[in-house]
């Protein structure tokens, strides 16, 4: 995600990986609705949707008189504005392959197997984004014959996306704050032979014999998460997982007890398996001297139960990449980079707070007549649905900063400042073609200025011209008129609002009346007064302003642009 | 289309072209809604929709007091069941490239530049689909140094898709029936500089100074069709077009008069241009000895005004390819091939009958106070909309034959036998994922048996098993239950209706309630009684039958399968 986004922004990027090859199977596999939107913004969603399994429904099983029974089925995604109201599940190797192919088309390939062995900052150069302040020694684990195993790279910036045991993080003694839980989970990937009815839905199984989760995947594969008794898989003396104590057959055996009366036949093979203890930790800081950054598992570890891991990680660098690009282009000062830690570390802490509750519910005992302190299905469902906005990624909201100005929320009551711009179908003025607004906001490392003109475009030319003269290099204007007013003609739209015929839209339904319309109403924008909506390059709403206050726009950009 | 469809069906195919390279620009450029559905069935629609311009609206301009003025705008596509309610416009080279890339992925490439110079049939072998009855001599126009310019190919079947001047057609003295019209048209492709408001819509311009049509295209390009006075471009002695008499500048000059008061500046360049006389002709037959076939412009020529040319041609071989595959596999007898001419020649005749009316309206004088015999906008619009089903390709209906059995229409009143299966969103039983029914009907050279089970699947196992035993190699079963009845479980669906978990669907809305549902009602199928719908490999409905009459299914397949 990081290297691809930087390459797309025109940044000269080098990416190294200690693995000799891309991941073949297993690992993370759940892509949340907001992350699908992000993939779409990079032009990667078509392939993701084609290759991945789509998970629409969540089923809940609880103890009944003869083993487990279905208690409820609910939509897996409850966030009402999610453009893709489902999760995609696909093994990590296939997801990596999309990024590798995308990068390759831009001339960037991963160098492997390579590890960093030294990383130092030149204190005289730090703070100058033009200077190569970081010196990285790379060690090639499998150097070509006769070639040196070490290589020195001078970089303007370094991003450590090197996992839970991050070398970069350790190099700078960045602490992980939080604790290990007592929860131990096993994971198996396989093509199941079973009579369990919800094997192709996300299923949460609470039984008298333990807790399991079913995650269906591509090509008939299913992943089972199986809660284990710590003593079965943990070495008592070290407190660490001992994978020798338990193989996938044993894991499936444990699961089978929970699924009774449904059965699993032993599969032909297991595609992947693992056992882990849930740790819930966040790095104490995300950057060193605004020059070295860490992202992904290097910054946060938590349970995979809510399917957040890969999503949290990819969205870290989706957040960081455009900021680096702006600094490298000389458009913004280094202080812009501080918003990365602000936004993503707070999010990671929220994630871990959620995870604590979720893991407790997940691993807890089911409420029964004898155990009234147990967790009822209603408790569970309430948390599942209350946190739907959070787990889908749709509800994530960045707090106030130079690039998030909460001031003028009433201009567009339902376009929440700090959240991602919601989807909405608009009709293009010139040719009546319906467009999804989110598709007008690609991750191209440019701001988008949405001008909801209301019922007139008079006055806007004079008021917007100075802003476009100053910051036009960094933003794209998209014009959305409230309707084709009497005598509407594209030719009458001022040039500043119409850099190309394709950039003017109307808030109308399509010719069939099946999509589009009501954008102003949905967004809470007055159809006469209109509004400015400034969308950040990562798709998040940076600020709003009344059409009469172009000065507010200028002040916003002045605060971080140079 | 022909080679790609055959290759996809596993047929060993050789394709030759007299052109040294693929077409770079110009030529045909309009893809109709039904053809987009066909592209989708071959997995080619995503790219088509991405690369092409989408034409949603048609605008009509007529004489006003100061030059032309807008009379009306209407949706360009009026067929209510069109899955894609618009036309795609894209130059022919880009469309060819999709087929070339698709074929390349199957190991088939076009040999060029090559022309056939001899073609003979061995009368002893004709009628035996296992035999190589056709002998074709190919002449390489640019043979590698030292290699022979001629090559002999022995083929089981030959398809001449070699255009209006078809060598294959002439070789067998197949006559073109019909006549030349008096209509002469010029065409220019360019990026226009104009203040004409509907330059990005299909626009039909009737002016006191002539008739024009605007067809917007990819990358800001626009095509203008300009009606000419015959004397300007035709050599009086030969009656043929003389392109030396008129260049693109002159064509644009003629057009500009029609567009007054709107203006066109001279563009930097013209991407393509041509002049032609409309001929309206159909070949007297489409095949020779069920061994040699002609298709596309080799069979029919007509005006391009209704955007049918490329569509009629591609759908010829979409119709033919699966039939050839069935015969080559030994599944069906040679008589199946006779339905190609039956279906496609009748269609071509309908097309020309339509074209006669359309070209007359198009080229005729506008009705004015002084000329009450002229054509009113209302006349024009009526024909435009009446024939919307036909011009969109959606309404095309094949007549009764061995593969189209009109008998049991009441089983599914709105699934018209002989028409293409209409789109409908269904929900997959196992995972609640919404699917477009048309996406379950890929062009994979297999029949699809849609089993609308009604409210029960009892009895179906016994009744369907014999059919599947006999013809299961040639058809795929798709099960559509009317709803999840109380106690519904996928495990209870009989094996013959559930060859894989992914093949059972429910007539329900998706989790959000925004798509799906009402399939039985929309199709006019009784939700208790159900129905069989047999869909041909090309997506056309072959026959219907009540669930109680599996024998009718068997008789249908018996009539052409062997």
Q: What is the 3-state secondary structure (H, E, C) of A455-517?
A: CCCCCHHHHHHHHHHHHHHHEEEEEEECCCCCCCCHHHCCHHHCCCHHHEEECCECCCCCCEC
Comparing A253 with A387, which gets the higher pLDDT?
A: A253
Element (H, E) at A38: helix A33-41
Instruction: Please check whether residues B189 and B263 belong to one and the same domain.
Output: yes
Angle at which helix B309-328 crosses helix B33-41, to 10 degrees, equals: 30
> Buried (b) or exposed (e) across A37-69, using 16+ Cβ within 10 A?
bbbbbbebbebbbebbbbbbbbbbbbbeeebbe
From B122's Cα to the closest Cα of chain A, the distance in A is: 48
Catalytic residue among B61, B84, B183, B225: B225
Please determine, for residue B28, whether its predicted confidence score (pLDDT) is greater than 90. no
Identify the DSSP state of A309: H
> What's the CA angle centered on B430, arms B518 and B468, to 5 degrees?
85
If you average pLDDT over residues A540-558, what whole number do you get?
A: 95
- Residue among B56, B76, B197 minimizing CB distance to A490: B197
Task: Report d(CA A62, CA A206) in Å as an integer.
Answer: 5
Residue A189 covered by a domain:
no
Residue A442 covered by a domain:
yes
Going by C-alpha positions, the residue among B278, B246, B256 that lies closest to residue B207 is B256
Percentage of residues in chain A having pLDDT higher than 70: 99
Q: Which residue's structure tokens are 């530049």?
A: B113
- State whether B432 and A85 contact (CB < 8 Å): no
Comparing A421 with A360, which gets the higher pLDDT?
A: A421
Q: What is the pLDDT of residues B39-54, one digit of tens each?
A: 999 999 999 999 999 9
Say if residue A299 is preceded by a cis peptide, omega within 30 of 0: no
Q: Which residue's structure tokens are 């070949």?
A: B283
Query: Nearest chain B Cα to A81, which residue?
Result: B512
**Count of structural domains, chain A:** 2
- Residue among A86, A197, A512 minimizing CB distance to B85: A512
Q: Which of the residue ranges A73-82, A324-333, B166-175, B478-487 would you say has the lowest mean pLDDT?
A: B478-487
Residue A196 covered by a domain:
no
The domain boundary residue, chosen from B229, B250, B279: B279
Q: Which of the residue ranges A365-374, A495-504, B28-37, B409-418 would you say has the lowest mean pLDDT?
A: A365-374
Q: What is the pLDDT of residues A398-408, one digit of tens each?
A: 999 999 999 99
How many Cβ atoms sit within 10 Å of the Cβ of residue B175? 11
Contact B453, B480 (CB under 8 A): yes
Contact A226, A187 (CB under 8 A): yes
Task: Report d(CA A420, CA A347) in Å as an integer.
Answer: 14
Q: What is the pLDDT of residue B196?
A: 96
Residue B538 covered by a domain:
yes
Residue A96 covered by a domain:
yes
What are residue A31's phi and psi, to 5 degrees?
A: -115, 120
Please determine, for residue B349, whether its predicted confidence score (pLDDT) is greater than 70. yes
**CATH number for B223:** 3.30.9.10
Instruction: Please check whether residues A18 and A116 belong to one and the same domain.
Output: yes
Q: What sign has the CA pseudo-torsion B274, B277, B278, B280?
A: negative
List of chain B residues whose C-beta atoms are within 8 Å of the C-beta of residue A516: none
Q: What share of chain A is helix, strand, coil (3-state, %, to 5)?
A: 30, 30, 40
Length, in residues, of chain B: 562
List of chain B residues whose C-beta atoms are within 8 Å of the C-beta of residue A512: 75, 85
Q: What is the pLDDT of residue B389?
A: 81
Q: What is the pLDDT of residues A514-540, one digit of tens each?
A: 899 999 999 999 999 999 999 999 999
Element (H, E) at B464: helix B460-471
Percentage of residues in chain B having pLDDT higher than 70: 99
**CATH number for A290:** 3.50.50.60
Instruction: Please check whether residues B288 and B365 belong to one and the same domain.
Output: yes
Instruction: Please check whether residues A414 and A352 belong to one and the same domain.
Output: no
Please determine, for residue B27, whether its predicted confidence score (pLDDT) is greater than 90. no
Please determine, for residue B362, whether its predicted confidence score (pLDDT) is greater than 80. no
The domain boundary residue, chosen from A359, A391, A426: A359
Range of the domain at A326: 2-52+86-174+283-359
Angle at which helix B377-386 crosses helix B338-363, to 10 degrees, equals: 170
- State whether B431 and A56 contact (CB < 8 Å): yes
Query: Nearest chain A Cα to B511, which residue?
Result: A75
Please determine, for residue A324, whether its predicted confidence score (pLDDT) is greater than 70. yes
- Residue among B53, B86, B491 minimizing CB distance to A195: B491
Q: Which of the residue ranges A258-262, A328-332, B234-238, B441-445 would you say has the lowest mean pLDDT?
A: B234-238
Q: What is the pLDDT of residue A305?
A: 67
- Output the CA–CA distances (angstroms, integers) from residue B442 to A428, B447, B516, in the order listed: 32, 10, 20
CA B390 to chain centroid: 11
Catalytic residue annotation of A: 29, 217, 225, 304
Q: Which of the residue ranges A87-101, B36-50, B129-143, B376-390 would you say has the lowest mean pLDDT?
A: B376-390
Q: What is the pLDDT of residues A437-486, one digit of tens each?
A: 999 999 999 999 999 999 888 889 888 999 999 999 999 999 999 988 77
Token pair recorded at residue B255? 């057009």
Q: What is the pLDDT of residues A13-37, one digit of tens each?
A: 999 999 998 877 767 789 999 999 9
Q: What is the pLDDT of residue A240?
A: 79
Q: What is the pLDDT of residue B462?
A: 86
SS3 B3: helix
Query: Nearest chain B Cα to A58, which residue?
Result: B431
If you average pLDDT over residues A110-114, what whole number do you get?
A: 96
Q: What is the pLDDT of residue B306?
A: 67
Task: Report d(CA B132, CA B129) in Å as an integer.
Answer: 8
Contact B181, B230 (CB under 8 A): no
Please determine, for residue B386, whether its predicted confidence score (pLDDT) is greater than 90. no
Q: Which residue's structure tokens are 């709107």?
A: B262
Task: Report d(CA B470, CA B463) in Å as an integer.
Answer: 13
Q: Which of the residue ranges B145-154, B175-184, B234-243 would you say has the lowest mean pLDDT?
A: B234-243
Residue A102 covered by a domain:
yes
SS3 A260: coil
From B251's Cα to the closest Cα of chain A, the distance in A is: 25
Question: What ipTM score was computed for the predicted complex, to two decimals?
Answer: 0.93
Residue A439 covered by a domain:
yes
Task: Report d(CA B545, CA B538) in Å as an integer.
Answer: 19
- State whether A431 and B201 contact (CB < 8 Å): yes
What are residue B138's phi and psi, to 5 degrees?
A: -105, 135
The domain boundary residue, chosen from A359, A394, A421: A359
Query: Which of A433, A490, A493, A504 should be substituted to probe chain B, the one whose Cβ sees the most B Cβ atoms within 10 Å?
Result: A433
Sheet containing A30-31, strands listed edge to edge, beginning at the edge strand earlier in sequence: A30-31, A87-89, A53-55
Task: Report d(CA B403, CA B557) in Å as an integer.
Answer: 8
User: For this structure, is B75 an active site residue?
Assistant: no
If you average pLDDT over residues B434-456, what whole number do you get?
A: 96
Comparing A41 with A278, which gets the higher pLDDT?
A: A41
List of chain A residues whose C-beta atoms are within 8 Å of the C-beta of residue B85: 510-512
Task: Report d(CA A293, CA A158) in Å as an integer.
Answer: 6
Neighbour-count burial of B195, counting CB atoms closer than 10 A to its CB (0-12 exposed, 13-18 middle, 19+ buried): middle
If you average pLDDT over residues A332-338, what whole number do you get?
A: 96
Instruction: Please check whether residues B311 and B452 belong to one and the same domain.
Output: no
Catalytic residue among B83, B171, B217, B345: B217
Q: Which residue's structure tokens are 């809940």?
A: A60
Please determine, for residue A326, whether its predicted confidence score (pLDDT) is greater than 90. yes
Instruction: Please check whether residues B368 and B441 belong to one and the same domain.
Output: no
Query: Nearest chain B Cα to A201, which residue?
Result: B431
Task: Report d(CA A230, CA A239) in Å as an integer.
Answer: 9
- Residue among A86, A433, A501 minimizing CB distance to B54: A433
Q: What is the pLDDT of residue B26?
A: 67
Instruction: Please check whether residues B366 and B491 belong to one and the same domain.
Output: no
Q: What is the pLDDT of residues B552-561, one digit of tens each?
A: 999 999 999 9
Residue B453 Ramachandran class (φ > 0 left, ψ -120 to 50 alpha, else beta): alpha
Instruction: Please check whether residues A170 and A38 belong to one and the same domain.
Output: yes
Token pair recorded at residue A330? 């000389």
Instruction: Please check whether residues A126 and A44 belong to one and the same domain.
Output: yes
- Residue among A56, A195, A511 minimizing CB distance to B432: A56
Task: Report d(CA B76, CA B198) in Å as an integer.
Answer: 13
Q: What is the pLDDT of residue A148?
A: 92
Instruction: Please check whether residues A425 and A295 belong to one and the same domain.
Output: no
User: For this structure, is B248 an active site residue?
Assistant: no
How many Cβ atoms sit within 10 Å of the Cβ of residue B402? 19
Q: What is the pLDDT of residues A352-366, one digit of tens each?
A: 888 888 877 777 777
Angle at which helix A338-363 crosses helix A377-386, to 10 degrees, equals: 170
Please determine, for residue B190, whether its predicted confidence score (pLDDT) is greater than 80. yes
Instruction: Please check whether residues B265 and B328 belong to one and the same domain.
Output: no
Query: Nearest chain B Cα to A515, which residue?
Result: B514
Contact B256, B264 (CB under 8 A): yes
Contacting residues for A253 by C-beta, under 8 A, at least 6 apart: none
From A449's Cα to the closest Cα of chain B, the distance in A is: 23
Q: What sign has the CA pseudo-torsion B393, B396, B402, B406?
A: positive
Q: How high is the mean pLDDT of chain B? A: 92
Please determine, for residue B181, whether its predicted confidence score (pLDDT) is greater than 80. no
Instruction: Please check whether residues B417 and B273 belong to one and the same domain.
Output: no
Strands (DSSP E) along A268-311, which ranges?
270-283, 287-288, 292-294, 300-301
Going by C-alpha positions, the residue among B67, B70, B71, B69 that lies closest to residue B261 is B67
- Output the CA–CA distances (angstroms, integers) from residue B293 to A515, B171, B286, B324, in the order listed: 44, 12, 6, 11
- Residue among B55, B199, B489 minimizing CB distance to A197: B489
Q: What is the pLDDT of residue B220?
A: 95
**CATH number for B472:** 3.40.30.20
Task: Report d(CA B477, CA A104) in Å as an integer.
Answer: 41
Query: Nearest chain A Cα to B488, which residue?
Result: A197
Please determine, for residue B253, whether its predicted confidence score (pLDDT) is greater than 70. yes
Comparing B440 with A179, which gets the higher pLDDT?
A: B440
How many Cβ atoms sit within 10 Å of the Cβ of residue A342? 17
Q: Which residue's structure tokens are 């850099």?
A: A499
Q: What is the pLDDT of residues B54-92, one digit of tens each?
A: 999 999 999 999 999 999 999 999 899 999 999 999 999
Q: Using an 8 Å CB-CB cutoff, list residues of chain A that contact chain B.
A: 46, 53-57, 75-76, 85-86, 195, 197, 199-201, 216, 430-434, 489-491, 501, 510-512
Residue A67 covered by a domain:
no
Q: What is the pLDDT of residues B300-315, one digit of tens each?
A: 987 766 678 889 999 9
């Amino acid at each position: 995600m990081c290297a691809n986004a930087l390459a797309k922004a025109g940044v000269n990027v080098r990416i190294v990986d200690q693995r000799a090859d891309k991941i073949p199977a297993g690992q993370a596999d759940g892509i949340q609705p907001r992350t699908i939107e992000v993939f779409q913004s990079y032009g990667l969603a078509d392939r993701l949707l084609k290759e991945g399994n789509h998970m629409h429904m969540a089923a809940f099983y609880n103890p009944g008189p003869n083993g487990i029974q279905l208690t409820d089925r609910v939509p897996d995604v409850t966030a009402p504005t999610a453009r893709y109201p489902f999760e995609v599940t696909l093994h990590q190797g296939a997801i990596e392959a999309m990024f590798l192919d995308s990068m390759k088309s831009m001339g960037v390939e991963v160098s492997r197997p390579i590890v960093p062995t030294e990383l130092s900052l030149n204190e005289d150069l730090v703070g100058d984004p033009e200077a190569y302040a970081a010196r990285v020694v790379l060690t090639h684990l499998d150097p070509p014959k006769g070639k040196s195993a070490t290589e020195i790279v001078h970089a303007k910036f370094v991003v450590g996306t090197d996992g839970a045991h991050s070398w970069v993080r350790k190099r700078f003694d960045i602490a992980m704050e939080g604790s290990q839980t007592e929860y131990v989970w096993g994971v198996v990937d396989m093509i199941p032979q079973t009579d369990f009815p919800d094997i192709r839905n996300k299923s949460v199984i609470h039984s008298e014999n333990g807790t399991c989760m079913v995650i269906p995947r591509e090509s008939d594969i299913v992943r089972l998460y199986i809660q284990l008794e710590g003593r079965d898989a943990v070495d008592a003396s070290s407190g660490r997982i001992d994978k020798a104590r338990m193989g996938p057959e044993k894991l499936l055996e444990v699961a089978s007890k929970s699924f009774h009366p449904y059965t699993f036949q032993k599969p032909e093979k297991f595609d992947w398996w693992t056992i882990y203890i849930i740790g819930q930790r966040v790095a104490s800081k995300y950057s060193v001297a605004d020059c070295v950054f860490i992202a992904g598992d290097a910054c946060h570890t938590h349970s995979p139960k809510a399917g957040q891991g890969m999503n949290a990680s990819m969205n870290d660098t989706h957040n960081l990449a455009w900021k680096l690009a702006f600094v490298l282009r000389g458009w913004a000062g280094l202080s812009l980079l501080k918003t990365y830690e602000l936004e993503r570390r707070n999010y990671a802490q929220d994630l871990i707070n959620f995870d604590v509750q979720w893991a407790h519910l997940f691993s807890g005992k089911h409420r029964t007549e004898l155990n009234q302190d147990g967790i009822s299905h209603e408790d569970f469902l309430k948390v599942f649905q209350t946190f739907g906005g959070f787990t889908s990624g749709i509800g994530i909201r960045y707090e106030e900063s130079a690039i998030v100005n909460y001031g003028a929320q009433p201009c567009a009551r339902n376009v929440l400042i700090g959240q991602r711009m919601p989807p909405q179908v608009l009709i293009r003025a010139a040719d009546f073609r319906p467009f999804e607004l989110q598709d007008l906001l690609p991750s191209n490392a440019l701001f988008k200025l949405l001008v909801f003109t209301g019922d007139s475009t008079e006055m806007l030319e004079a008021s917007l011209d100075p802003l476009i003269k100053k910051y036009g290099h960094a933003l794209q204007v998209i014009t959305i008129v409230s309707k084709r007013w009497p005598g509407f003609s594209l030719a009458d739209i001022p040039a500043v609002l119409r850099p190309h015929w394709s950039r003017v839209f109307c808030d109308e339904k399509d010719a069939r009346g099946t999509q589009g319309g009501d954008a102003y109403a949905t967004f809470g924008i007055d159809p006469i007064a209109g509004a400015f909506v400034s969308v950040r390059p990562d798709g998040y709403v940076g600020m709003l302003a009344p059409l009469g206050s172009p000065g507010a726009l200028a002040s916003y950009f002045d605060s971080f642009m140079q």
